[in-house]
Amino acid sequence: MSDINALIVDDSSVMRKIVERALRQAGLSLNKVYEASSGAEALDVLKSEQVQLILSDINMPMMDGLEFLRQMRAQDLAPDVPVVMITTEGSEEHVKAAIAAGAQGYIRKPFTPEQVKDRVLPLLELV
Amino acid sequence: MATPARELLQESAHAQDLDSAVEEVFRLMMGANCAPAEEHVFGNDETITAVIGLAGAMSGACTLRCGMDAALRMAECMVGVRPAELDDMVKDAIGEVCNMVAGAWKGKHPVLASGCMLSTPAVVTGTNYQLHMQQPEFRIDRSYRFEEHAVNISIVCESIQ
């Protein structure tokens, strides 16, 4: 698998660092890591940058993760890029809502690097 | 007839669920042990408190309060580098720990897992302050030991729908 560009969307800069570290610990070779603190900011990134993986929180100010997903699909941004939600909202209803909005994976906080690896690597092998 | 949410929530082992949630968050995100301890009163020490609002099936808040050294150490455990001072990154880290504790706690109860939303964190720093809520339905106040530091975590339920 060649180096990939990833977009990490979370209003917490600490969580963005933790997610990036988990991706590297999972064995991913990252070329560039783009960060966004809201769904709106993430959409702006996708309009100008190419990424091969998106990880997004759900609860964020300005535009939450589910609305970001819907807007991403509606604007045909990164149509073939796998999206994994990483969030404290772990109920079955939230998972269903995320999948319905277009997510391919779901990780509940708190998480281990192994959980990130198990959710993310299979999605990248499918692309 | 389905048991009302009020009845289900009152019957739950909320303190045990909170202990379990705290243990899980500290172990998975910091690689650290955080176990229930004797009640700790912060007094005049400078402390940092994170507050996460809860709304929906239950209205209330989850709060996490600790001293400055504890906050710096938690941030170090999360990001791998010890901060030099209580900066925005440390406040962000404490807010996230409180967020994850609140999420893990509510996730242990079916009524709350899907029916209760979390706010984004608010963080307060200072000395000699108290948080008050009027006539809560119930509240859980727990003290924990994280390395040599005290951490107080509370769940306050203001109302149940």
| Among the listed residues B112, B1, B128, B100, the one whose alpha carbon sits nearest the alpha carbon of residue B59 | B112
Q: Is the pLDDT of residue B10 over 70?
A: no
Higher pLDDT pick, B70 / B7: B70
pLDDT above 70 covers what percent of chain A? 98
Write out pLDDT tens, residues B102-160: 999 999 888 888 889 999 999 999 987 777 777 788 889 999 999 999 999 999 988 88
Number of domains present in the structure of chain B: 1
So what's the pLDDT on residue A9?
Answer: 98
Which of A10, A14, A116 has the most B C-beta neighbours within 10 Å, making it the best mutation to test the interface with B?
A: A14
Four-residue CA torsion sign, A3, A33, B52, B71? positive
Q: How confident is the model at residue A41 (pLDDT cuts 50, 70, 90)?
A: very high
- State if pTM tops 0.95: no
Q: What is the pLDDT of residues B27-67, one digit of tens each?
A: 999 999 999 999 988 888 899 999 999 999 889 999 999 99
With CA atoms as reference, the chain B residue closest to A112 would be B28
The parent domain of residue B107 ranges over: 5-160
pLDDT at B135: 74
CA–CA separation, B51 vs B131, rounded Å?
10
Cβ B80–A15 below 8 Å, yes or no? no
Give the pLDDT confidence score for residue B83 in this predicted structure. 95
Mean pLDDT of A99-122: 93
| pLDDT one-digit tens code per residue, A53-107 | 999 999 898 899 999 999 999 999 999 999 999 999 888 888 999 999 999 999 9
Sheet-wide strand order for A105-108? A30-36, A4-9, A53-56, A83-87, A105-108
Assembly ipTM: 0.89
pLDDT of residue A34: 98
Contact between A8 and A16 (Cβ < 8 Å): yes
Nearest neighbour of B113 by CB, restricted to A12, A87, A90: A90
Q: What is the CATH number of the domain that holds B87?
A: 3.40.1550.10
- DSSP, res A61: S
| Cβ distance of B96 and A15 shorter than 8 Å | yes
Confidence at residue B161, expressed as pLDDT on a 0 to 100 scale: 76
B114 touches chain A (CB under 8 A): yes
Q: Which domains does chain A have, with CATH numbers?
A: 4-126 (3.40.50.2300)
Structure confidence at residue B95 (pLDDT): 97
Please indicate if any CB of chain A lies within 8 Å of the CB of B113.
yes
pLDDT for A23 beyond 80 = yes
Determine the pLDDT at residue B24.
97
Q: What is the pLDDT of residue B22?
A: 98
B53 touches chain A (CB under 8 A): no
Mean pLDDT, chain B, rounded, equals 89
Contact between A10 and B120 under an 8 Å Cβ cutoff? The reply is no
